[in-house]
Every structure is written in C-alpha cells, then in structure tokens.
C-alpha cells in the first residue's frame, strides 16, 4: 500500500446542499426540519480559507434523503456537468439515510469523471455542540481540493464520513446511531483522516474515458427481492409478473444461495425468458456471491441469473437502472452487470 500526504493547493469547490440532518434544526414539535444553507455557512466559518474559494448552491427546498430519487440524482449530475469546467472539486451534502444509493447512482451516471465528487452528511445537525457535521464538511472540502502532481488525488465519486473516505459505490449505511454510520464492507477506505489525511493511492479509481459526460437515462422498472426462509412463492410470482418489469435484484443467502425449489426455478426462468435481467447479490453484510460454490446456487445460475460478485445492493440496483436505461437487455445487460464499470466490483477468478 502506497501512502502519500496531501499537498494543499489553491482551488475552487462547489458545495451542493441537498438537505438532511447536517443542515437541520429542531422545529416546535421536536422533529428535525432542514434549514437554509446560509446557516451552515455561519456555523462553519472555516470554510473560507485564503487558498480556496467555496461556492454554495442548494436544493430548493432541501430534502430529507428519503425523498431523493432518480430525479434528484439527475439534478445533481446535471449540476456537476453544468459547473464541471469552473470548479476543481465538488462536495455534496446529503442525508445519510439514502446517501449510499446517491453515491452509487452518481458513480454510474458520471462518465469520464476526472475531478473529485465527495458526498458527506452527518448524524447530528451542524449547529449542535457535538456535531460530526463540521468535521465531515471541512474534511470533504479539503479532499475535494487536494492535488498531487497537478492532478486531483480523487477522481471519482467518494463518500467522506466519520474520518474515512470510501469509494461511493461501495458504501452502505450500517448504523442509525454511530458517528461511523457509513461503511464500505468489501473495499478498504481510500483515505483516513487523522492529524493528516492519508491517501491510499493504489486504490484510487481512474476513468479511462477522456471526455466528461452524464449518462442521463435511468430505467427504474426494477424490483428488489430479499429471500427469507418460509417466504411465500406467490409474492415472488406476483412481483415477477409485473408486465413492465425489466430488472430484478435478488438478495440471497450467504455466497448466493436460494432454496432448491423447482417452483422458484420456473418463476425465475420464466422472468428471465421474458427478458428480465436478474442480478444476485448476497444479503450478508460482507462478502460476495460465488455461484459455483454450493448446489443451492446452481438453480439461480441455471435460470440465467447474473452473479453480482461483491456489489452492494445499492450498487447493484443503481447499476441496473443505468444498464437498462442504456437500452441493454439479454446478453448485453448480463455482460454490463458482470463488468467492473466504476470500481464497484472485485474480480473473482470463478465469476462467470
Ligand atoms: N433522515 C435524514 C436524511 O437522510 C438522516 C440524516 O441526514 O442523517 O435525510
């Protein structure tokens, strides 16, 4: 592992405030409601530094991240595209609840990204004495302005949270309580912030595409189906019988296993034969789908289900939306889902 210390550099950062706890205050009923971004700026005057310019734009109105979906992902992607030439880096302030979905979606939507897009949020509002929002915001801005040999160190969608920088499409919200709420179960952190921010440069993703652009088309005619023991097959059948269904993410047991039930096999085969792209991810917190390992995984393989390797559910769902948005189906969709597009997937020798 090659470790490098960051070198400060004069630069321009665009901060996009989408909403979430980081910029919330308590209303009369004790609930958290988003406030306007000027307030955040007031609480973090250190954003202003002689060696950088920080410009702030905000969603109007700011959104709790439970209300963020494909439209907001597209708004964010377009905002980055619109300002791409004018800024050295981008910071997105986002609620933590669906932050991992937004990070995953943006990673697949932004093509030829050669600048940092750092997403962060916080567990406590920025105005509270014990807030984690100040540190998260200031470190995210530092990372978004860090260059080495005249190039941004980070050239991908990444998430900064609780002292760690993670690849965006590897993240998952693991705690509603901890200040380390966001984790990256299958990939080590890209950087760790202590006294210095120490980057793990060997892990950084570099997009070979020269020109920056946005994959705008997302097809959300997909479903997510976690399996559980004792599950009625009728629910699965009804879901797969939705005539518009184009994609399905199955969350299976362990390394990609499902009940050896011929009725399940015929439901999934029928959907596959109708052109539904089915992707298999593990419902474990860590690890990957290995379709060759157990006989209980062979049923899925025989139905044409695509093994999702060690992709998170968030990555599999959003990658599938981009895949189908490109108009892919059949073998083309299978090969897109199997391919490592943005560092979301670890290569396993026996993954077919
Ligand atoms: N409900 C909030 C949101 O995701 C929680 C947070 O910001 O942490 O928008």
Domain CATH for 43: 3.40.50.1170
The reply to whether 116 and 43 lie within a common domain is yes
The confidence score (pLDDT) of residue 114 equals 98
163 occurs within a structural domain: yes
Residue nearest to atom 7 of ligand 1 (CA): 95
Range of the domain at 239: 222-351
The CA-CA-CA angle for residues 140, 146, 151, to 5°, reads: 135
Ligand 1 pocket test target in 61, 96, 126, 314 with most atoms within 8 Å of CB = 96
The one catalytic residue in 18, 21, 96, 318 is 21
Ligand 1 pocket test target in 64, 125, 131 with most atoms within 8 Å of CB = 64
How much distance in Å is there from the Cα of 192 to the middle of ligand 1?
23
How much distance in Å is there from the Cα of 32 to the middle of ligand 1?
9
Residue 2: is its pLDDT beyond 70? no
3 occurs within a structural domain: no
Domain boundary residue, one of 214, 244, 265: 214
Q: What residues does ligand 1 touch, defined as CB less than 6 Å away?
A: 19-21, 64-65, 95-97, 121, 123
The reply to whether 247 and 189 lie within a common domain is no
Residue 19 CA, closest ligand 1 atom number: 9
Q: What is the DSSP letter of 7?
A: B
2 occurs within a structural domain: no
How much distance in Å is there from the Cα of 138 to the middle of ligand 1?
19
Closest CA to 285 of 125, 170, 138, 143: 170
User: pLDDT for 17-36, tens place per residue?
Assistant: 999 988 887 777 777 766 66
147 contacts: CB under 8 Å, gap ≥ 6: 7, 9, 11, 88, 153
What share of the chain has pLDDT > 70, as a percent? 94
pLDDT band at 295 (very low <50, low <70, confident <90, very high): confident
Domain boundary residue, one of 163, 194, 214: 214
Per DSSP, the three-state class of 51 is coil
How much distance in Å is there from the Cα of 23 to the middle of ligand 1?
10
User: pLDDT for 253-267, tens place per residue?
Assistant: 999 999 999 999 999
Residue 352: is its pLDDT beyond 50? no
In angstroms, the CA 294 to CA 298 distance is 7
5 occurs within a structural domain: no
The reply to whether 178 and 273 lie within a common domain is no
The reply to whether 306 and 278 lie within a common domain is yes
Cβ burial of 159 (10 Å; 0-12, 13-18, 19+) is buried
Structurally, the chain folds into a number of domains equal to 2
- Give the side-chain half-sphere CA count within 13 A for 269: 11
Cβ burial of 204 (10 Å; 0-12, 13-18, 19+) is middle
The reply to whether 210 and 231 lie within a common domain is no
Interval 170-178 mean pLDDT = 95
User: pLDDT for 210-250, tens place per residue?
Assistant: 899 999 999 999 999 999 999 999 999 999 999 999 999 99
Domain boundary residue, one of 194, 214, 234: 214
The reply to whether 255 and 208 lie within a common domain is no
The reply to whether 210 and 227 lie within a common domain is no
Interval 325-351 mean pLDDT = 89
How much distance in Å is there from the Cα of 144 to the middle of ligand 1?
22
Residue 68 CA, closest ligand 1 atom number: 9
pTM for this predicted structure: 0.94
The reply to whether 141 and 257 lie within a common domain is no
Cis peptide before 61 (omega within 30 of 0): yes
The reply to whether 281 and 319 lie within a common domain is yes
The reply to whether 201 and 258 lie within a common domain is no
Residue 65 CA, closest ligand 1 atom number: 9
1 occurs within a structural domain: no
250 occurs within a structural domain: yes
The reply to whether 230 and 178 lie within a common domain is no
208 occurs within a structural domain: yes
68 occurs within a structural domain: yes
What share of the chain has pLDDT > 90, as a percent? 79
How much distance in Å is there from the Cα of 276 to the middle of ligand 1?
33
Residue 24 CA, closest ligand 1 atom number: 7
Ligand 1 pocket test target in 17, 21, 131 with most atoms within 8 Å of CB = 21
4 is catalytic: no
Helix axes 99-109, 313-325, angle to 10 degrees: 40
The reply to whether 103 and 122 lie within a common domain is yes
Question: Residue 334: which CATH number?
Answer: 3.40.50.40
């Amino acid at each position: 592992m090659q470790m490098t210390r960051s070198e400060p550099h004069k630069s321009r950062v665009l901060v996009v405030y989408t909403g979430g706890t980081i910029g919330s205050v308590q209303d009369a009923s004790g609930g958290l409601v988003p406030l306007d971004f000027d307030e955040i700026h007031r609480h973090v005057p250190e954003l202003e530094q002689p060696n950088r310019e920080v410009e702030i734009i905000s969603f109007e109105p700011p959104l709790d991240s439970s209300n963020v979906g494909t439209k907001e992902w597209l708004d964010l992607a377009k905002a980055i595209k619109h300002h791409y030439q004018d800024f050295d880096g981008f910071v997105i302030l986002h609620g933590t609840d669906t932050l991992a979905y937004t990070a995953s979606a943006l990673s697949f939507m932004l093509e030829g990204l050669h600048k940092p897009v750092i997403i962060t949020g916080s567990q406590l509002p920025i105005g509270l004495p014990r807030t984690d929002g100040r540190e998260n915001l200031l470190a995210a801005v530092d990372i978004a302005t860090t260059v080495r040999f005249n190039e941004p160190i980070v050239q991908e969608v990444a998430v900064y949270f609780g002292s760690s920088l993670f690849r965006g499409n590897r993240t998952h919200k693991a705690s509603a309580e901890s200040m380390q709420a966001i984790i990256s179960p299958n990939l080590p952190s890209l950087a760790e912030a202590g006294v210095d921010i120490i980057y793990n440069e060997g892990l950084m993703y570099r997009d070979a595409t020269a020109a920056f652009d946005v994959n705008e088309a997302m097809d959300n005619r997909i479903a997510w189906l976690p399996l559980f023991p004792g599950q009625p097959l009728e629910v699965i059948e009804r879901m797969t019988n939705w005539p518009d269904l184009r994609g399905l993410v199955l969350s299976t047991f362990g390394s990609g296993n499902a009940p050896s039930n011929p009725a399940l096999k015929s439901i999934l085969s029928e959907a596959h034969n109708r052109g539904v792209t089915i992707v298999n991810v593990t419902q474990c917190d860590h690890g990957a789908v290995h379709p060759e390992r157990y006989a209980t995984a062979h049923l899925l393989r025989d139905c044409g289900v695509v093994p999702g390797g060690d992709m998170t559910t968030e990555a599999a769902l959003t990658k599938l939306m981009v895949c189908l948005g490109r108009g892919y189906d059949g073998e083309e969709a299978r090969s897109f889902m199997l391919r490592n597009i943005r560092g979301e997937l670890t290569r396993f020798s026996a993954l077919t």
